[in-house]
Amino acid sequence: MSATPAREDDAAASTASPPGNALLGISLMMLGIFMFSVNDVLGKWLVATFSVAQVLLIRSFAALLVLAPFVWREGLGNILTLPKPGLQLARVVFATFEVVFFYWAVIGLPLADVVTYYLAGPIYVTALSAIFLREKVGWRRWTAVLVGFAGVLVALRPSAATLDVYALVALLGSIFFALLMITTRHLRGTSDTSLVFWQTLGALVFGIALAPFGWVPPAAGDFALLSLLGVVALAAHICVTRALKHASASVLAPYQYMLIVWAVILGYLVFGDIPDAAMLAGAAIIIAAGLFIFLREQKLLRRR
């Protein structure tokens, strides 16, 4: 799943960028979102044959090979010496289970359904920040949180006939995604290379531990796709990170919702999935609530 820019809290996020830089930032963001979507499609295709742990093992190993020059340039000592080690470890755990639950969920659900649940992540962040971090959340944002939860329920269609384990897994994964976002906010001083390295290493360890159970020997083409999965995800992270250096979060945030557009298009073209009315309605409600929360936070940030 993708990283979201909607939580950049520094003052630079609210300042205007030069038009040329903003255009470059938007272009990089759109490219990153598309690559995340391709990564999701590849993942769904591969977990139909291989276990989630095996996918993560090969995917993470390939990503670490590509990441190695960046680690070398930053210095292994800087990568290994991290501030707030307890919080760093918690972030790695959240990141690992977020991606595990995502790939688990797409085994039994259309891609667009799973992406819809994950788009509720920023809404959960607002609620969890108020409950656990004692951050002040006004009535407007609490109303948007409740509306967003209603959108999740609309998409979830909770009834004995429609609710299954994959929907619950996707919902749980979206909560881990929100926890990942919260911990990442508190580790802004850590370099992007360090964050991505440890996040990828956590997934690799998970794969090493569980992949031997039910291992399926991959053919050459499958091994190439499994490796490509890690490279595409890493490139997508780099695109989004670079986009935030050229344009403010307030400019880029709406573009993250292109994830659902690509999920619908690619899900139909590759898997023949046709989204139903409930999922589309739920996605629209979640997106509206998420955008309202983000715009409200930007307004409060400018006031401060």
Give ∠ CA 9-262-226 in degrees, rounded to 5: 90
**How confident is the model at residue 8, as a pLDDT?**
40
Q: What is the residue-averaged pLDDT of the chain?
A: 84
pLDDT score for 225: 93
- pTM, to two decimals: 0.84
pLDDT tens, residue by residue, 30-77: 998 999 999 999 999 999 999 999 999 999 999 999 999 988 998 888
pLDDT digit string (tens) for 268-279?
Answer: 999 998 888 888
Confidence check: pLDDT of 207 > 70: yes
pLDDT band at 12 (very low <50, low <70, confident <90, very high): very low
Written as one string, the DSSP assignment of the chain is ----STT--SGGGGSPPPHHHHHHHHHHHHHHHHHHHHHHHHHHHHTTTS-HHHHHHHHHHHHHHHHHHHHHHH-HHHHHS-SSHHHHHHHHHHHHHHHHHHHHHHHHS-HHHHHHHHTTHHHHHHHHHHHHS-----HHHHHHHHHHHHHHHHHH--STTT--HHHHHHHHHHHHHHHHHHHHHTTTTS-HHHHHHHHHHHHHHHHHHHTTTT--PPPHHHHHHHHHHHHHHHHHHHHHHHHHHHS-HHHHGGGGGHHHHHHHHHHHHHH-----HHHHHHHHHHHHHHHHHHHHHHHHHHH-
Tell me what pLDDT residue 16 has. Answer: 45
In this prediction, residues 148-158 reach a mean pLDDT of 81
pLDDT in tens, 93-105: 999 999 999 999 9
